Amino acid sequence: MKFKGYTILILITFLLSMEKETNSQDRPAYNDLTAQESKVIINKATEYPFTGLYEKFEAKGTYLCKQCGSALYHSDSKFDARCGWPSFDDEISGAVKRVRDADGMRTEIVCASCGGHLGHVFTGEGFTPKNTRHCVNSISLDFVPEVLPAGTYGTALFAGGCFWGVEYFLQKEPGVVAVVSGYTGGHVKNPSYKEVCTGKTGHAETVKITYDTRKTSYEKLVKLFLEIHDPTQVGRQGPDIGDQYRSEIFYKNEEQRKTAAKYLDLLRQKGLKVATELTKATEFYPAEEYHQDYYFRNGKLPYCHGYTRRF
């Protein structure tokens, strides 16, 4: 009987572990968080008022959970409460969960998908007809332009020369819902294009891709990125020369790092002298408005990017 009981216990443990592994595979990988992001999203701290990126932000689109990518708020529900943090009077249905604070005084709001801390919700203040204010930390949010349906979205950060050309090719890929040109990888906060062009900020011209995980994958986007620019060029891309035009993949989590490393290794096995760097993502700063959708608005074609099949 002892042997049978032990065998059953082993079987149950095995089945539970298989279920856990399956569930973890079905669930999209959470993004890695910086120390400051973890302080707010995981440890429930509050960012200083009037310091967040989205406090005075007025663009039309959808706000996502920075940790898991779930859509939380549409810009139509955002209003200026002059409180120092982004304010919304309604959430996307089922996206936000309310949790009573331990002291019973306030109601915390968290992402319903991953439990990440967003802020607090208040009622009865009379700011809008809905009489509700979601007071949210900017650092808990990500943003993509245009209104999206509720769902889960992934983000990717690629630098491969002038961001106009990278943006052009990625925007046409099925499953991609938004591409924003900007700057990342450097040490200067909120850099301008003029500053980045000096090569002294450490930033690279980068595109931030938001994609529907139901329609495409990070793997497909990595492959495409490595086929629309020359990953062997150092500190340049075509006629554009300078460190800001370097080839670099900024990964958001360990799963992205492994995927990108896999395809960089495949290129090396094919005999290419790969210059593309692989770096953990930091803060991304959107570029000036005139850089966005550049080729689509001007009716031109990229001058230093083109498709070359490599996989």
Delineate the domains of the chain, giving CATH numbers in brackets.
35-144 (2.170.150.20), 152-298 (3.30.1060.10)
Q: Decide: 24 and 246 in contact? Cβ < 8 Å.
A: no
Contacts of 114 (CB under 8 A, 6+ apart): 30, 65, 67, 68, 70
Q: What is the mean pLDDT of the chain?
A: 88
pLDDT tier at 3, thresholds 50, 70, 90:
very low
Whether 14 has a pLDDT exceeding 50, the answer reads: no
Q: What is the pTM of this model?
A: 0.72
Q: Which residues are marked as active site?
A: 135, 162
Lowest mean per-residue pLDDT among 240-244, 262-266, 282-286: 282-286
| 194-222 average pLDDT score | 95
Would the pLDDT of 37 be above 60?
Answer: yes
Quick one: average pLDDT of 176-203?
94
pLDDT tens-digit series, residues 43-85: 999 999 999 989 999 888 899 999 998 899 999 999 999 999 9
